[in-house]
Structure 1
Amino acid sequence: MNTRLLRFIPALFLSVVLALSIGVSAQSRRPMTIDDMLNLVQVSAPRISPDGRRVIYTMSELGKWKDNKRVTSIWIADVDGSNARRFLGHEKDRGPAWSPDGKSIAFLSTREASAGGREGEGTADSGAQIYVIPVDGGEATKLTDHKGNIRSFDWTKDSTAIVFSAERAKSDAQKANEKAGDDAIFVDEEANGQERAEFSELWRITIADKAERQLTHDDHLLIESVRVSPDGKKIALTYRRENSRNGQFHAEVAVVDAASGELKTLTHNNAPEMAVQWSPEGKMLSYLAPSDTSWELAEEKLWVIPAEGGDARKLTGAFNGNIGQYAWAPDGQSIVFGASVRARGAAYRVNVATGAVSSIAGGDWAGRMESVSTDGKRGVAVVSKPDAPGDVHLIDLTTGTLTPITHANPQVSELALSQFRAVTWKSKDGLEVEGMLWLPADYKPATKLPFILAVHGGPAGAWDVSFRGINHVYTGLGWAVLEPNVRGSSSYGDTLLRGNMKDIGGGDYQDLMTGVDKVIADGIADPDHLAIRGWSYGGILGGWTLTQTTRFKAASLGAMVADWASEYAMGFNYDVRLWYIGGTPWESADNYRRQSSYTHIAKVTTPTLLLHGERDTTDTIGQSMMFYQGLRDRGIPTRFVRFPREPHGFREPHHVRIRDAEEISWLMKYARGMDWKAPERKDKDSAEPKKSTDQFVAYLFRIITGPLRLHPAAQACASGAPGCRGPQIAAGGLL
């Protein structure tokens, strides 16, 4: 091949790429599809290195379509985004954690079990063991060969050992009995909840010789979070002694002496504590809980308590927001934490002595800081915006500056994304409600559009300012979408969070409908083409809405509850019992009946699609079956789609595609009178093989020597006209 041409190729290739990227106009971008959604890469769980120079994170990608699954891997990159590479490639690896000295990473994996080795018993994390890998080169080595399934772990501060919690191993006799069919589950007895479980113990293993030592000898511990003290002599944890589905309030904070195994409980209440951590000097513990007495409907608060025992003190009592991960500053004088405030991400600092909270970073983005460097100067978070899927970002904790580390979905630049704005309105009782409004990319004011009311889950959920592919798909099909954060939503403070106590379907319903009235009054929503969709509590409140109004022409309800009394034992009931209805079905029978949509199903006239996973234990599938049968018997157009193997949140890509396609088709048909069918998915498993270098050079040569049609402005630039900033190209591209 011509060597002069080869030397010419790199510069020419760069010019062509620049021309293509600069010339892409809004008119050439195409609408987003359900397959574009499925193809999105998802990043999560960023962990910054102790020295703040690197980050590890998890990446989830769609696997081969025929395999019907997403594939996860763990990546590492410098915090400036350079040197990104796959660090752990096995899809069974998870939960990576830096050693305090930054030289190694430990992680959990079932890679041997998946290859035909020993499987653990009865859990999704069966047979998990701890592996350790050097950061700067070398293979992962298996640290543990533990007989019980390992659930969680923490490094000692000198990086010489790891403390972990593991389920108690079953005896050979117990395994033989279960294999023979003697596998009855005694619900809520011993470690069992509604599924089989085992009690757990604490263990310590040294890195150098892999020597294990059992720390606790307690027959009734269900250990949750684990943290080793700075001096390695004690372990803080949260634990329960029973496993009932609605018993989270039984969690307590405790300290275990690493030498004797003695467990000392520090909290004694009916509040669900979690996320325990040590102060740098080891004298205090911190944790998250809504209260220090009972299970209140409140956002998590930061608490501190003496490690030797004493009264707990609330640090963030005046803070209105939903607190997530947090970390102590090195001097022990403050704690930095990530939070969601009014549906936006932020980072804050709280003074441990005074409880004063100051803002570090915030803006119109969604995400929470998830880990912090040892010096407290840098944090990392997965940040998303309405027009940008989530990417790992570095947060400078001194200036509040956010800098992207990953760029996982560059293909999004090819898509015509929604116009987005946050809107507010007054509800029937004067309460101000905020909602997220999504409009087509080419929307022009005063244009009436078919309209979707999207109801969030929870009830204590919220629509944040993140990228939601389904909304971009709907606006690409010409819809407007409104997502109200009704009373009962989180991140707006405890007052709004408690706004629907013993009133579900009351004020929150009015918040929805006054939002609909607003966008109609603004000339955006066409009142003759209204639809409603929701999942989980969104399906519940959506179903209730159909019993209260006939304004909607179509509805899609996923994972709903139609009858509160019959769901009391099947799914979760603590929220309904404590907050949203009050009491039990036998104590408050009238209230349970009155606030169930099934009671009023004779009023429903809206054609309704029902969607439910068969293994959903949050809202059980019989609830959708009830609503479906009631509509069918009354002659209301309805369709019920059951999804085998799926829990509350779907996992299988094929099912996700069917779910979304069926919903779009249903809403298009009944709200707009249009037949819509999802395009056949292009199977990338059989894509053409990549071109060789010679083929690629020949391809470029054909482009170079072939006809190139430019926009007139680009032609002027090609002729050397003044003021041109670089190559340009027509929207139609190279022809």
Structure 2
Amino acid sequence: MRVLNTALAVAVLVSSSLVLARPPEPGDLLRLKTVSSPDISPDGTTIAFVVDTPDVERDENVSHIWAVNWDGSGDRQLTSREGESESSPRFSPDGTWLAFLSSRGGDEDDGPTRLWLLPQASGEARPLEGLDGSVSDFDWSPDGRKLALVVKDPEPDARESADGEEIPSPIVIDRFAFKRDGEGYLDNRRERIWIYDLARRTAERLTEGDHDESSPAFSPVGTAVAFVSKRVDDPDRTVDSNIFVGELAAMDRVPRQLTTHPGEDSMPEWSPDGRTIAYLRGGDPAVSFPWYAITHLAAVPSVGGEERVLTGQHDRNIFEFAWSPDGRSILMVVEDNGSQILSSVPSGGGAVRTLIGGDIDIAELAVSPAGRVAVMSSTMERPREVHAVEGGKIRSLTEQNDALMAELDFGRTERYSATSADGIEVRGFVTYPADSSKGQRLPAILHLHGGPDSQHDYSFDMLKQVFAGAGYAVIAPNPRGSTGRGSEFSAALTAAWGSVDVQDVLASVDHAVAAGIADPDRLGVGGWSYGGMLTNYTIASDTRFKAAVSGASISNILSGYGTDHYVLAYEQEIGKPWENLEGWMRISYPFFRNQTIITPTLFMVGGSDVNVPTLASEQMYQALKSRGVDTRLVVYPDESHTISRPSFVKDHVERWVEWFDARLKPASQ
């Protein structure tokens, strides 16, 4: 009888969940928690991680440190100061402390970010004392007595008027790269490596000079720190970063340079025996523009010597890596054709072996000294959560978003393959409304990703599901310029924006129409950043779209030179405007030939965007408005390139849906 009752109860619950499940809505974005930054305790029993949650009442995002046991039990919040945020949790080598970064106790916008230590036995977190400037990264020494910190030079003391009001100083600019999104104008303060002695509570600077340093990594014996820097006369004019080693016994000496590769070297990690430093190596700018080049795993002897590429025959990007405890292999997160998978390679180089593959999104790898492995992982129907890697499989440890997911009825997603105008295969995904039937023609949105060096993949994407929940088929192509298909496919877009990528996305639409998925009379297109740019290129090339949404985009590329933060990238990929005006004009055709655009277009942009400044959207809005094309411009005050204020996040997605609904759906729907 108990079995029958239990079965009946399960049936009722399942039935209720089916009845209550609903399509995702824009407001669900404010209920979605972002889980990230896993770190495993030295004994392997605990994983610390970060949960970022929209605080609707305060209209801001707040992140706190959480922890979960290796067996999945004891999911708990470790920090909880109201209105404060914490990030980057890392256990001390003996597990007694958990360090993290936070601007607690100060103005979150202007106050310094400090490193805090939270005792794992009991007690409150305390900040490091005797240190000026903001901390952006850190690493523990192997004995836990020291910390290597990346600290930005402190701001000069502010001037005050007689009544105590702060007097702003003139902004004096003499740098080649003088602005950056999220920071605004750049001064000459630098980020440097400091060594902090916990017992003495004192800090000593390891590096000197007019350079920025990043990614500090202590050697296994704690006598040296590897880091990344551009140690040239003008670091703003190059992507050539290299790996250096500074000896703690010689704090005032010039650090040793280990790598000389002309591209971007990053993320140094010592082998367990200290003989080798592995790192990520970007492409050679003389061969391929860095955006489109493959990032490989490389290694160099820690005393100096030959630099070896360990994954040279594997034409896929490596994003994260970690040494195995025995030093025989290196685990890696590898991007591959719409997936991010877990792989490994022998420490001496060789064949890349897949450990966890398939239709999955894996990121943020963590490995404990005992060999336990944790990753962030997601699928199209479940956001990233912390997972343990065991026996060639992953096991979920957290369920921060499971309650929300249980409420929602997600549309199914299928892969597709189309043929572009020149015969190149284009791959992507189509997401259908949950209540749609096979063969039903639907209003469709061509959803274009940013970058362009990025890809639509198997990761969870609430925006696509919101569009599907509103009744649209969502076509998500990976045109040339996208990553995941190798260097040649990506590099095809070099200095050729709005060319073959337009062919590829239009081929994707043609495929969806021919397959009976998309209604050819109800087509929309939209994207953010380069996705917005490609939207502009597409509607300037084809008039079939009845509605477009262009977010944080630029069409008059000439207007970007000197007004956004891409001056070096522009000069490397396209050349200087006065030396290659034809090339600049060729990729600026949506503005200079905007009379070909008839598609009603909504432009949206952050008011403080330095990545793609507001003026770029203003120009396109004004051009279409001048010609009488149906258009609108929405500017989100104080927002940078990525809209983050919760109320604005909801607002901008609602506007996407409303804009499409008004133009792609009959009034009766």
- TM over 0.5: same fold? yes
Which amino acid letter does the alignment assign opposite residue 87 of structure 1? L
Partner of 1:553: 546
Distance verdict in 2 for CA 1:210–1:130, change over 3 Å = farther
| Secondary structure at 2:457 match in 1 | coil
Partner of 1:415: 408
1:80 matched to 2:71 = yes
Partner of 1:317: 312
Distance verdict in 2 for CA 1:59–1:434, change over 3 Å = same
Partner of 1:564: 557
Q: CA deviation at 1:497?
A: 1.3
Partner of 2:343: 348
**Cα distance between partner residues in 2 of 1:247 and 1:126:** 30
Q: CA deviation at 1:384?
A: 1.5
Conserved in 2, the CA contact under 8 Å of 1:222 and 1:242? no
| Secondary structure at 1:406 match in 2 | coil
**Cα distance between partner residues in 2 of 1:191 and 1:427:** 40
**Cα distance between partner residues in 2 of 1:630 and 1:428:** 30
Which amino acid letter does the alignment assign opposite residue 14 of structure 2? I
Partner of 1:711: none
1:390 matched to 2:384 = yes
Question: Which of 652, 656, 674 matches 2:649?
Answer: 656
1:289 matched to 2:288 = no
Partner of 1:686: none
**Cα distance between partner residues in 2 of 1:675 and 1:48:** 55
Partner of 1:405: 397
Distance verdict in 2 for CA 1:431–1:292, change over 3 Å = closer
| Secondary structure at 1:66 match in 2 | coil
Partner of 2:522: 529
Partner of 2:61: 70
Conserved in 1, the CA contact under 8 Å of 2:24 and 2:410? yes
Residues 511-537 of structure 1: per-residue CA shift (max 9 Å, x gap): 101111111111110000000011100
| Secondary structure at 2:13 match in 1 | helix
Distance verdict in 2 for CA 1:542–1:200, change over 3 Å = closer
Partner of 1:222: 212
Residues 126-180 of structure 1: per-residue CA shift (max 9 Å, x gap): 4222221222333222233312222221101112221212223455588999954
Conserved in 2, the CA contact under 8 Å of 1:92 and 1:109? yes
Q: CA deviation at 1:102?
A: 2.2
Conserved in 2, the CA contact under 8 Å of 1:191 and 1:242? no
Which amino acid letter does the alignment assign opposite residue 148 of structure 1? G
1:128 matched to 2:113 = yes
Unaligned stretches of 5+ in structure 2?
none
| Residue range with higher mean Cα deviation, 357-366 or 481-490 | 357-366
Partner of 2:31: 39
Partner of 1:254: 244
Partner of 2:142: 157
Question: Which of 185, 194, 211 matches 1:203?
Answer: 194
1:515 matched to 2:508 = yes
Conserved in 2, the CA contact under 8 Å of 1:266 and 1:309? yes
Partner of 1:505: 498
| Residue range with higher mean Cα deviation, 619-628 or 362-371 | 362-371
| Residue range with higher mean Cα deviation, 666-675 or 645-654 | 666-675
| Secondary structure at 2:304 match in 1 | coil
1:59 matched to 2:51 = yes
Superposition pairs for residues 79-478 of structure 1, below 5 Å? Answer: 79-90=70-81, 91-114=84-107, 126-170=111-155, 172=157, 179-188=166-175, 194-207=185-198, 209-216=199-206, 218-240=208-230, 247=237, 249-261=239-251, 262=253, 263-291=255-283, 294=286, 296=290, 297-376=292-371, 378-396=372-390, 399-409=391-401, 410-478=403-471
Residues 28-71 of structure 1: per-residue CA shift (max 9 Å, x gap): 421211112221122111112233221111111221x3311122
Conserved in 2, the CA contact under 8 Å of 1:327 and 1:336? yes
**Cα distance between partner residues in 2 of 1:633 and 1:355:** 60
Q: CA deviation at 1:244?
A: 8.2
Partner of 1:704: none
Which amino acid letter does the alignment assign opposite residue 182 of structure 1? S
**Cα distance between partner residues in 2 of 1:485 and 1:217:** 43
Residues 292-320 of structure 1: per-residue CA shift (max 9 Å, x gap): 67564312111111222223111111123
| Secondary structure at 1:602 match in 2 | helix
Q: CA deviation at 1:333?
A: 2.1
**Cα distance between partner residues in 2 of 1:510 and 1:245:** 37
Partner of 1:5: none
Q: CA deviation at 1:197?
A: 4.8
**Cα distance between partner residues in 2 of 1:227 and 1:504:** 38
Which amino acid letter does the alignment assign opposite residue 64 of structure 2? S
**Cα distance between partner residues in 2 of 1:541 and 1:145:** 49
Residues 442-461 of structure 1: per-residue CA shift (max 9 Å, x gap): 22121111011011101111
Unaligned stretches of 5+ in structure 1?
1-12, 677-735
Which amino acid letter does the alignment assign opposite residue 532 of structure 1? V
Partner of 1:727: none
**Cα distance between partner residues in 2 of 1:169 and 1:501:** 39
| Secondary structure at 2:249 match in 1 | coil
Residues 659-708 of structure 1: per-residue CA shift (max 9 Å, x gap): 111111111112224499xxxxxxxxxxxxxxxxxxxxxxxxxxxxxxxx
% identical aligned pairs: 30
**Cα distance between partner residues in 2 of 1:586 and 1:354:** 45
Q: How many residues align?
A: 650
Conserved in 2, the CA contact under 8 Å of 1:616 and 1:646? yes
1:615 matched to 2:605 = no
Which amino acid letter does the alignment assign opposite residue 428 of structure 1? A
Q: CA deviation at 1:639?
A: 0.3
Report the TM-score when normalising by structure 2. Answer: 0.92
Distance verdict in 2 for CA 1:318–1:24, change over 3 Å = farther
**Cα distance between partner residues in 1 of 2:370 and 2:110:** 33
Which amino acid letter does the alignment assign opposite residue 202 of structure 1? I
Distance verdict in 2 for CA 1:631–1:366, change over 3 Å = same
Distance verdict in 2 for CA 1:79–1:384, change over 3 Å = same
Residues 351-385 of structure 1: per-residue CA shift (max 9 Å, x gap): 12233211111121112242111133x32222111
Larger of the two Rg values belongs to structure: 1
**Cα distance between partner residues in 1 of 2:347 and 2:110:** 37
Distance verdict in 2 for CA 1:281–1:542, change over 3 Å = same
Distance verdict in 2 for CA 1:181–1:134, change over 3 Å = closer
**Cα distance between partner residues in 2 of 1:329 and 1:24:** 47
Distance verdict in 2 for CA 1:176–1:361, change over 3 Å = farther
Q: CA deviation at 1:412?
A: 1.5
Distance verdict in 2 for CA 1:291–1:523, change over 3 Å = closer
| Residue range with higher mean Cα deviation, 463-472 or 544-553 | 463-472
| Secondary structure at 2:47 match in 1 | strand
CA RMSD for the aligned pairs?
Answer: 2.7
Question: Which of 480, 486, 489 matches 2:482?
Answer: 489
Distance verdict in 2 for CA 1:445–1:189, change over 3 Å = closer
| Secondary structure at 1:111 match in 2 | coil
**Cα distance between partner residues in 1 of 2:445 and 2:207:** 56
| Residue range with higher mean Cα deviation, 186-195 or 656-665 | 186-195
| Residue range with higher mean Cα deviation, 256-265 or 621-630 | 256-265
Conserved in 2, the CA contact under 8 Å of 1:215 and 1:258? no
Conserved in 1, the CA contact under 8 Å of 2:159 and 2:168? no
Q: CA deviation at 1:96?
A: 1.2
